[in-house]
Amino acid sequence: MPWSGGTYTKGNAGTGGWAGDAGLGIGIEAGRHDTQDNDFANGINNALTKDGQNTPTANLGMGGYKHTGVGNATAADQYLSYGQLLDVTKAVTTTGTAPAYEVTLTPAPAAYFDGMTFVVMFHSVLAVSTGATLNVNGLGAKDIKIPGSGSGYRDPFTGELGTNAPYVVCYSSSTGDFHLISPTHSAQTFTPSIGSASGSVTLNSSTCTYSMFANKVLVSYSLNIGLTGATSSYVTASLPFARAAVFDEMPIAAWMNSVSGQTDRNCNAIMSTSGDIYFYRGDSISDWPIDNFIIYATGVYQASF
C-alpha cells in the first residue's frame, strides 16, 4: 500500500527507486513502470479531492487544526460554523397574524421532531383567550400549550404571550404541540358576574385582576355593589376560570367597607367549586343591607384545566 501511518511511500522505494534499478543493472521495463504507476494511482485515489468528487471512507482526524472559511449549514447533515451557532442560539422573531404565529429557522428543519427547542420573540401580543399556534418553516401550525400541574396542558390566555421578553418553546411529539416553558405572569383584568341570595344586586363598578402560574390562579377583587329590594345573607362574584373540584368552600381573604351599620371590616368569603365566591358579612349583622357597599378580596386557587 502506498499510504501507511499517514505517509505515502512509492512502490519501488525498497530498491532505491529508478536509480537503484540502474545500479543493479535493471533496465527500463514496462512491468516495473506499470507497477509504479499503479502505485501512484492507488495513492492518489486514497487522497481527498478538493472539488468534492470523492468522500472519506473513515473518520478524519484534524490533529488539533480547524476547518477555516467554511460556509453556513443549510441542511440537517451539515455542521454549523461557529458564527452560525451564535446566530441560531439567538431568539427568532415571529411573523404572521396573532394568534397564528410563524417563524423561520436556519438551517430549516425537514420536519418537527421530539424535543425541538428554541427561543422565540413574539412580534404581537396575544390578545385572545382561545389559544395560539406556531408554524415553523411552513411545516404546519401547531398549538402552543402551557404545562400545568401533573400531565395537563392548557391554552395560553390573553397577555401570556407578550412582546417584551423571550420565550422558550419545546415541541412534543406525544402531544403534537409546542410547550411554552416561560409564559408571562402579568395581571389581566376581568369583570365578574355577581349574584345574591335575595334582592336585586348590581355591580356599580369593579377592579378585578388575575395572574396565571401554570394552572394556579391569583385573583383579586374590588367590588362596588348595589343591593335593592331586600337584604341578602350573601352576595356572589364569579371566578375568572372554573375551579378544580377539590376542597369545596375554600376560604379566602376578604374585607368590606362602607356597609350600613358596619361594626367590623372583616368579611367572610369562600370559594365554591361551582365557580363563585360567596361573601358573607363578618360583623354582628347577618345580612347585606339595601344599599351600596364595597368588598375587597384576594386568593389563590387551582383551575380545572
Instruction: Report pLDDT digits (tens) over 190-239.
Output: 999 999 999 999 999 999 999 877 778 899 999 999 999 999 999 999 99
Mean model confidence pLDDT for the chain: 86
Strands 250-257 and 177-180, sheet pairing = unpaired
Name the DSSP class of 155: P
Name the DSSP class of 32: H
Q: What is the spatial distance between Cα 288 and Cα 291, in angstroms, rounded to a whole number?
A: 8
Diameter over CA atoms, the chain: 132
Query: Is residue 284 located within the same domain as residue 252?
Result: yes
Does residue 50 form part of some domain? no
What domain range includes position 286? 188-302
Query: Is residue 199 located within the same domain as residue 166?
Result: no
Query: Is residue 192 located within the same domain as residue 295?
Result: yes
The tens digit of pLDDT for each residue in 167-185 reads 999 999 999 999 998 777 7
The tens digit of pLDDT for each residue in 71-87 reads 888 887 888 888 887 77
Query: Is residue 157 located within the same domain as residue 196?
Result: no
Query: Is residue 196 located within the same domain as residue 241?
Result: yes
Task: Give the residue from 137, 160, 180 where a domain finishes.
Answer: 180
pLDDT of residue 207: 96
In the chain, the number of structural domains is 3
Does residue 224 form part of some domain? yes
Does residue 169 form part of some domain? yes
The tens digit of pLDDT for each residue in 100-146 reads 999 999 878 899 999 999 999 999 999 887 889 999 999 999 999 98
Query: Is residue 193 located within the same domain as residue 298?
Result: yes
Query: Is residue 233 located within the same domain as residue 138?
Result: no
Does residue 293 form part of some domain? yes
Does residue 256 form part of some domain? yes
Does residue 67 form part of some domain? no
Query: Is residue 225 located within the same domain as residue 288?
Result: yes
Does residue 53 form part of some domain? no
Does residue 271 form part of some domain? yes
Q: Cell for 98?
A: 396573532
Query: Is residue 193 located within the same domain as residue 297?
Result: yes
For residue 120, give the nearest of 135, 141, 139 by alpha carbon: 135
Query: Is residue 96 located within the same domain as residue 146?
Result: yes
Within 8 A by CB and 6+ apart from 129, the residues are: 155, 157, 158
End-to-end CA distance of the chain: 70
Task: Give the residue from 180, 206, 234 where a domain finishes.
Answer: 180
Any idea what the CATH number is for the domain that residue 205 is in? 2.60.90
Within 8 A by CB and 6+ apart from 17, the residues are: 10
The mean per-residue pLDDT over the stretch 14-24 comes to 75
